[in-house]
Amino acid sequence: MTEEASAVAQEGVSSVEKTHDIPSDWSPNILAFACHYCAFAAADLSGVMRLSYPTNVKIIRLPCTGKLDHIYILRAFEKGIDGVFAAG
């Protein structure tokens, strides 16, 4: 689909937010849900190894990714969090 065609297609659906330019200094706020036993441990190890990543990632620990509820993800997006990362 060409850019034009895509713009036309999107205009037809009023609920879809128009894409807008991303300012160069913008950085997304990311929320990670991590399983206590594996992904959370991996996040710890990255610290132990002094591996660096951006500060705009925050982690919420879950007893298992099985605990990850749809409402958590929806609430995060509803509140304006830009990305959700689930690892486990």
The correct pick among 10, 15, 63, 87 for binding another protein (CB under 8 A) is 63
Query: Does residue 20 bind another protein (CB under 8 A)?
Result: no
Query: Does residue 85 bind another protein (CB under 8 A)?
Result: no
Q: How, if at all, do strands 57-62 and 30-35 pair?
A: parallel
In the chain, the amino acid numbered 58 is: K
Cβ atoms of 32 and 76 closer than 8 Å? no
Residue 16 CB, nearest distance to another protein (Å)?
20
Q: Which of 63, 68, 69 is nearest to 36 (CA)?
A: 63
Query: Which residues form the interface with another protein (CB under 8 A)?
Result: 29, 31, 36-38, 40-53, 55-56, 58-64, 66-72, 75-76, 79-81
